[in-house]
Structure formats: C-alpha cells, structure tokens
A and B are shown apart, each in its own frame.
Chain A
Amino acid sequence: MNEVLRIEGLKMYFGGLKAIDGLDISLYREETLGVIGPNGAGKTTLFNVICGVLKPTEGKIFLNGEEVQGKSSFEMARKGVARTFQISKPLRDISILDNVVASLGINEYTGFKSLFKKSHSKETVDKAMMILRRTGLEDFKDKKAGEVSLGYLRRLEIARALAINPLLIMLDEPCAGLSNFAINEVIELIMQLKEEGKTIVLIEHNLPISMKVCDRIVVLNYGQKIAEGTPKEIQSNQEVIEAYLGEDDDFA
C-alpha cells in the first residue's frame, strides 16, 4: 500500500506542556484513520502541526515521501493537505459560493499576477456548483456564510476541503455540536468520500461515529499513542477504556 503520510518521533512542546510527546503514525492511500482521545490529548495540536500552523519541536513529517515538517500552512495546503476546523471558520461576509470558489483558487494565489486573473470564470463557478450540490448547499449558495446554521457550516467546511482536491483530508470533529439528524448527514458525506477513495484523517469525540467510519484508529492520551488498531480492537482495549472512563465519564 502507498504511504501518504508518515509521522516520526513527533514532539510539540508549549513551554513545559508536552502536547505531543513522541508520536509515530502512518497513513496509507484510501484509508480513513480515526484519531481519538480524551480532551487535551493533543488531537487538534497534531492537526495543527501536520497542517503547518505550528512548527513541531522535534520529529519528522513525510507527505508522499517528501519531508514537510515546518512548512507554512499555505504551502501545506498547496501540497494537498486540506483541513476543516473544530470550530467552524467560514469566510463570514462573503457568500457560500464565494467560499468554495476561494478554495478552488488554491493554485491561483500567485501574488501580484493574480490581480489580472478573473476568479469567477464559468468553469470555476460550475466546479463550485458541483461541489455545493454534492454537499447539499446548492440552495444556500448566495447566502452569506455568516448567516447559515452550524449544520450547513460543517458541510461548508467539507465542501471547502473538497474544492482543494486534496491528497489528504483532515476533519477536525466534523460532527461536534450537531443534531443527530445533521450528524447522519455528515457521516453520509464522509462515507461518500471514502467510497471515492479519498484519504481521510478524522478526529472525533463521538466514539460510535469513529467506529463506524474509520478503517483504523489511533488513540492518544497526554500526547502519546496508547493504542492503535481496527475499531474492534480498540473497543476491547482495556487501556483505552481506562483513559476514557478515568478522564471524563461523558463519553460512556
């Protein structure tokens, strides 16, 4: 199998706080990897390091065999790492359509030259509309992103990630704060992505969702990997159960 992402001995310290402390993870093409763990386990920090928002204290990250740790966020995006945010971050004062068009332009932001290239060409708008149809946002295309409800914003996050046509999609709690109905819709969307052969990393607090969607799960606690395996293996892993039950009983 083709290795898309490899993380070796990754460490991320914030002063004395060891958010990630020696992590090794591999991710293969067309695989969906779940990252779970109690609050403060380092899941979102891991995302931020992979996406180039944070520079790791130590360790290496390989994307398709190329060493990429310490690259900045926009470079990682151009290399095909798309992400969604735990707290939805739409471009609030522009329309949903423009949000997606902005993502489609990933290779167009060349600096001064980009002043002379029209963004809303027919081809780009058609592409954006296709993505909006897929994510069920077609009816809202002219609404400002700041005006639609959270469920649609989560879909917009995924739509934006899709528009980048990524090598790797990283979803940071795409179901957090949604109603059961909306959760099912998002899961359906993720399942579709899987079927299309996309490579996905998913952070999800809601264990049943992770179990359903992921091929393999990595469990983090205090910045370290405490378990790794198929959803079935993880479910019966004593250490995982302790980490979750010992930390916070909300997840039971």
Chain B
Amino acid sequence: MYLIVVSVNIGIFILLALSLNIITGYAGQAALGHAAFFGIGAYTSAIMTSNYGFSFWISLPVAFMVSGIVGIGLGLISIRMKDDFLAITTIGVNFVIVALFQYSSFFGASLGMTVKKPMFFGMRMNTSGYLILITIIIIITCYFIHKMNKSWFGLALSSIRNDEMVASSLGIDVNKYKILAFSLGTAIAGIAGAVYAHHMTFIYSSDFAFTVSIGILSMVVIGGIGTIRGPILGAILLGAAPELFRFFADYRMIVYGGLLVLMMRFQPQGIFGNDSFITRNFIQAYKNIFKKKVGDIIE
C-alpha cells in the first residue's frame, strides 16, 4: 500500500517533469514557477468537485484547460522577456499564485481544501486506481511528446531554443510557438495537479510553493533535459530519494542544490541525457553485444 502511494506520487512528479521539459527542454524557455500551474490544476479540480459537485472526470479536462489558458499568460510574458528576466518573472508568478491560494477564502485560504475521492463505475477510486490512471496519462503524454519531437512543431521549438532570430528567418512565428509551448506544458501540469488533489484528498497552498518548482526543475536537469527518458528517470530518482533517506528529509533542498551544481559542472546534459556518461556507455555496451551476436551468426 505504502509502495503504491509513493508510486502515485512519483507518477505525478514524472508528469510534472515531462511537462516542464516541453517548456524548458524543448523550447528552451526559463520557467521557475511550474508548481503554480500544478496548483492551478489542483485547485480548479478541487473547487469544481467540492464546491460545485462536478465529477472528477469532468474536472480533469477542465483543469487541463484552465492551467493551459493561464499558461498562455506566461507565454505572453516570455515574448517580452528573456533568460534571467523571464526566470525571475516566473518565480514571481509562482509566489503570486501561491499567495492567492493562501489568502483568498475562495481557495480555502489558510485552511486548505478537502477533496473527495472520485467515483469510478460506482466504486470509490482506490490508490491502485490512481496508479493506473497516472500511468495511462504518462503513457499518453510520452506518446504525445514523442510525436511532437518528430513533427514540424518540435523542429520549430528546437530552432527557437537555439536562436530566435534564426528561427524567425526560417519562417517560424516565434511568439506563437513560445505561447503554444508554455500553454501545452502548463496544461499538462494542470492534469498532474487534478490527480494530485484527489489522490491526497487535501491540498494546501504550500504544496505548490516555489521549492516544489525547483524540485521539478531539478528532476528535469538531473535526469537529462530535452529527452523523454531524462525527466522520467530524474523524477523517479528524486521522487524516491526522500522515501529512501527519510532521516535526511530536512536537508533535501541542500542535496537538490548540491546535485544541481555538480550536474552543471560535470554533466550538463543530465545523468541520462544525450551524450551523458551513462547513455554513452549504455549505447556502447548495446553495440558491443549486438556486434558479438552478428559475429556469432557469421561464424
């Protein structure tokens, strides 16, 4: 049971890391306030189900849309600001939204919000149900990102990440694509939030604080930015770590920070990124095995 609860949490982190990776990894935009959109999804779904009696299955796509629409706002900001300034602004957005949750009575203010577990074919959804749900959402997201990487959309984001001036000289409407990347990434974070709210059955503003944003970013960077496997493995690694090293939990942020610095110095591609030590050796090993087999066949 405990294991399944941890797995669902890690699943939510995976979804968050994958969604942030669209903005930061593929489109190359600084985003240090991702937890805000996680929160927007969570509160949207919580308010819809608890205050207005909607079903979870309706609030899920609505959370997706509301986060995405607020994400468009962030995209509009990214047109005006770049790099460090954008990073600072996104931090600010995170604080403003958390403050809204904390002080507005509409969002339960400092009491937080209690959320009901949803019904599924007449049965109350249990923890395994969440695990299945989050796994399905992750698989769909991965498929979607995989598809994106092979499309003109993905190529447009790559161009923008490298050089906006060049991108526009290739006929890419840079502003439009930035907004799209932000709204896609934030919308997926919204789904993660909705699942989180109903899984935890209680949400509070500090669940979506700036430190959570940093945690998500650490997962992406440590795993391997700009790949699909990177954020997934990063989220598993950093998501499982506090459970394994519970006695160390108070110092988690120090460890994250330290890891980030070490990664930037020695493996800027991330542990599992393209060109990283592990990936290189893995591919080499795979090639060696394959060669051997071919050799055997020839002999």
A residues bordering B, Cβ < 8 Å?
Answer: 51-53, 72-74, 77-78, 82-83, 85, 89-94, 98, 101-103, 105-112, 114-120, 160, 164
Contact = CB atoms under 8 A, between A and B. Distances in A.
Given A92-B162, A119-B152, A111 B176 contact: yes
B166 A108 contact: no
B170 interface: yes
A77 B172 CA distance: 9
A112 B180 contact: yes
B73 to A, nearest CB: 18
20 contacts: A72-B168, A74-B167, A77-B171, A90-B162, A90-B166, A98-B155, A98-B158, A102-B155, A102-B156, A102-B158, A102-B170, A109-B156, A109-B173, A114-B152, A115-B147, A115-B151, A115-B152, A117-B152, A118-B150, A160-B170
B26 to A, nearest CB: 11
Contacts of A112: 153, 180
A162 to B, nearest CB: 12
Interface residues of B, number: 27
B100 interface: no
Contacts of A107: 171
Contacts of B180: 111-112
Given A72-B168, A91-B166, A103-B170, A115 B176 contact: no
B162 A105 contact: no
A77 B168 contact: yes
A77 B170 contact: yes
A118 B154 CA distance: 9
Contacts of A160: 170
A94 B154 CA distance: 12
Interface string B120-158: 000000000000000000000000000110111111101
B174 interface: yes
Contacts of A103: 170
A109 B169 contact: no
B255 interface: no
Contact of B165 (A53, A108, A111): A53
Given A74-B167, A102-B158, A105-B155, 6 more contacts: A74-B174, A77-B168, A77-B170, A105-B152, A114-B156, A120-B150
B158 A105 contact: no
B296 interface: no
Interface in B48-75: none
Contacts of A108: 152
A147 to B, nearest CB: 11
A65 B154 CA distance: 35
Choose among B154, B155, B168, B174 the residue with the greatest number of A CB atoms under 10 Å from its CB.
B155
Contact of B153 (A85, A90, A115): A115
Nearest to B28: A93
